[in-house]
Chain A
Amino acid sequence: MLMAIGARTLQFFEDTGQFARFGSQALGCSVRCLFRSHAYGLVSTQINAIGVRSVPVIMITGAFVGMTLAIQAYDQLASMGMEEHLGVLINLSVVKELGPVLAAVMLAGRIGGALTAELGTMNVTEQIDAIRSMGTDPVRYLVVPRVMACLLLTPVLIIYADLLGVLGGAMVSFAHLGINGRAYWDFSAHGVAMWDLGIGVIKGFFFGGAIATVSCYKGFTCKEGAHGVGQACTEAFVLSFISILVLDFGLAVAAKAIYQSFWPIRSIVG
């Protein structure tokens, strides 16, 4: 029994170490590739595969989040006679928290699953070994373009989600709840700062990096056979999802600390 726990613990640390090595190699290589133009061909293929086709689903996610928020928050605000503040609540929630997190979760399922399945299949059919056997680094050839594409795309896709969230919220507020448009936007403009939007987008870099690194790692270390690939995909999604939540919390704490030390006056007044 103790032996088994010990072995599991050792295995856990070994896996974590291996992942840390893989991640640092992939991210380091990605940063270096930013300065080498010949890598861009591969990256743009991935951007097409990953990004362009995710736009509709991300927009739908964003729009429904905004719309739902409007419906649900209205009653509480109205009971305090503050329904004109609805815009602040919706837009702040969408831009800072729900847009980035839900978009990232959507991407973890949509892109992460595909990346893990693709690389996992390449692994079990020895295509990754074939790349090594020809003297090319599979991390550089396969992982870096995908990580780069996710790093660049996730913030952009989050902006799409934000945009549609804001529009969806506004649409329901005006058409369904009959809120005065002028007051809605005035309060929103006052309550939502560039800083809030920026936080959401910066979260996107971290989420994108985490999704791509985790998914590629799971693909590279996937076990033999169709079952192995399926299992790797599940594990990749769960791990990406947890990393998104943990990163979100960490970034919220960090952002708050930075905000309070750099904008002390605003935080007292606003």
Chain B
Amino acid sequence: MISQSESKSSQETPVLEIKGLVKKFGQRTVLKNISLCFAKGKTTAIIGPSGCGKTVLIKHLICLLRPSTGEVLFKGQRIDELDESALAPIRTRIGFLFQAGALFDSLTVRENILFPVRQHQKGPAFKDADDLVRNKLTMVGLDGFQDYYPANLSGGQQKRVALARAIALDPEVILYDEPTTGLDPIRSDIINELILKLQRELAVTSVVVTHDMKSAYKIADRIIMLHDGNVIVDGDADHVKNHTHPIVQQFIHGRLSEEDLASLNVSSF
């Protein structure tokens, strides 16, 4: 690791913490010894090329995947060894946006958003439920789509409904897996503003997986870059921009390296 995160200075226990995380799938090691703290009320962006293990990392934070070795802690409590039923109360405090949305395709938008509410609260009156759905859909700019089925929405709309579902229980922590991928620039910016707004007004702690650098610079207090299963950069936007590591520069400027060019065999055309 190249720099220490500035959040270490605060005395509070971090909301989420990963210690010495290693994740193997069969013979393949996807994450190699990662340790990170996520401080309360901060937004952290995790960047890195496709397939470097960003989704795998973020899924460990709510134990959808379990570490091969290492620990995951929520507010100082170890959660990676809890069984599924013991995890339930913790998971209701954390919202998770899946990369592909993962909406329930047999339920309408409205029922999707009410799913976590119905599972965990003793049924709010019908009027409250309508208000809640409208409120969350307005936040993602989709009011009026209550009775659509996910199959009838575009990919970007599905993702925004999924985001509305992830915030339905007003979680303290929200984990976003590529919230702006597949959205047009205006819609991406709506999501960026929403992430900022949730942080400012409700002090939500966010972890955002993205490879949209514009979005990362805008929303993140801290940017972490993964490469080859390790953290290679950890710091604020300026720290990343001025980083001298060639892989970092290539990634944030979207340039190919010499070898990549060579492997494309460009010269032969």
Interface residues of B in 45-100 (CB under 8 A from A): 59, 62, 64, 84-85, 87-92, 94, 96, 98, 100
B62 touches A137 (CB 8 A): no
Q: A132-B64, A133-B91, A134-B91 are known contacts. Are A126 and B102 too (CB-CB below 8 A)?
A: yes
Minimum distance in angstroms from A111 CB to a CB of chain B? 16
Interface residues of A in 119-138 (CB under 8 A from B): 122, 125-127, 129-130, 132-137
| Cα of A250 to Cα of B90 in the assembled complex, Å | 45
- Contact-residue bracket for chain A: 10 to 19
| Cα of A133 to Cα of B100 in the assembled complex, Å | 14
Interface flag for B115 (CB, 8 Å): yes
Residues in A neighbouring B89, C-beta threshold 8 A: 135
Question: What 0/1 pattern do residues 125 to 154 of A give for CB contact below 8 A with B?
Answer: 111011011111100010000000000000
A135 touches B98 (CB 8 A): no
- Contact-residue bracket for chain B: 20 to 34
B64 touches A134 (CB 8 A): no
Residues in A neighbouring B116, C-beta threshold 8 A: 134-136
A132 touches B100 (CB 8 A): no
Contact of B85 among A127, A130, A134, A137 (CB under 8 A): A137
Q: A125-B100, A125-B102, A127-B105 are known contacts. Are A133 and B88 too (CB-CB below 8 A)?
A: no
Residues in B neighbouring A125, C-beta threshold 8 A: 100, 102, 105
| Cα of A90 to Cα of B205 in the assembled complex, Å | 71
Contact of A127 among B87, B92, B102 (CB under 8 A): B102
Minimum distance in angstroms from A133 CB to a CB of chain B? 4
B119 touches A126 (CB 8 A): no
Interface flag for B104 (CB, 8 Å): yes
Contact of B87 among A122, A126, A135 (CB under 8 A): A135
Write the chain A residue with the least CB distance to B171. A134
Minimum distance in angstroms from A184 CB to a CB of chain B? 49
Write the chain B residue with the least CB distance to A45. B106
Interface flag for B8 (CB, 8 Å): no
Residues in A neighbouring B94, C-beta threshold 8 A: 133
| Cα of A126 to Cα of B96 in the assembled complex, Å | 12
Residues in B neighbouring A141, C-beta threshold 8 A: 119
Minimum distance in angstroms from A178 CB to a CB of chain B? 53
Interface flag for B24 (CB, 8 Å): no
| Cα of A134 to Cα of B107 in the assembled complex, Å | 16
Residues in A neighbouring B105, C-beta threshold 8 A: 125, 127
Interface flag for B120 (CB, 8 Å): yes
Contact of B120 among A132, A133, A135 (CB under 8 A): A135
Residues in A neighbouring B92, C-beta threshold 8 A: 134-135
B102 touches A135 (CB 8 A): no
Minimum distance in angstroms from B177 CB to a CB of chain A? 10
Question: What 0/1 pattern do residues 101 to 122 of B give for CB contact below 8 A with A?
Answer: 0111100000000011001100
| Cα of A125 to Cα of B99 in the assembled complex, Å | 10
B119 touches A136 (CB 8 A): yes
Residues in B neighbouring A135, C-beta threshold 8 A: 87-92, 116, 119-120
Which among A122, A133, A137 has the greatest number of chain B C-beta atoms within 10 A?
A133
Minimum distance in angstroms from B117 CB to a CB of chain A? 10
Residues in A neighbouring B96, C-beta threshold 8 A: 130, 133-134
Residues of A at under 8 Å CB distance from B? 122, 125-127, 129-130, 132-137, 141
20 chain-A/chain-B pairs, Cβ below 8 angstroms? A122-B104, A125-B100, A126-B100, A126-B102, A129-B59, A129-B64, A129-B102, A130-B102, A132-B84, A133-B94, A133-B96, A134-B91, A134-B115, A134-B119, A134-B120, A134-B169, A135-B89, A135-B116, A136-B116, A137-B84
Other than A133-B96, A135-B119, give 17 A-B pairs with Cβ distance below 8 A: A122-B104, A126-B98, A126-B100, A126-B102, A129-B64, A130-B96, A130-B104, A133-B62, A133-B64, A133-B91, A133-B94, A135-B91, A135-B92, A135-B120, A136-B116, A137-B85, A137-B88
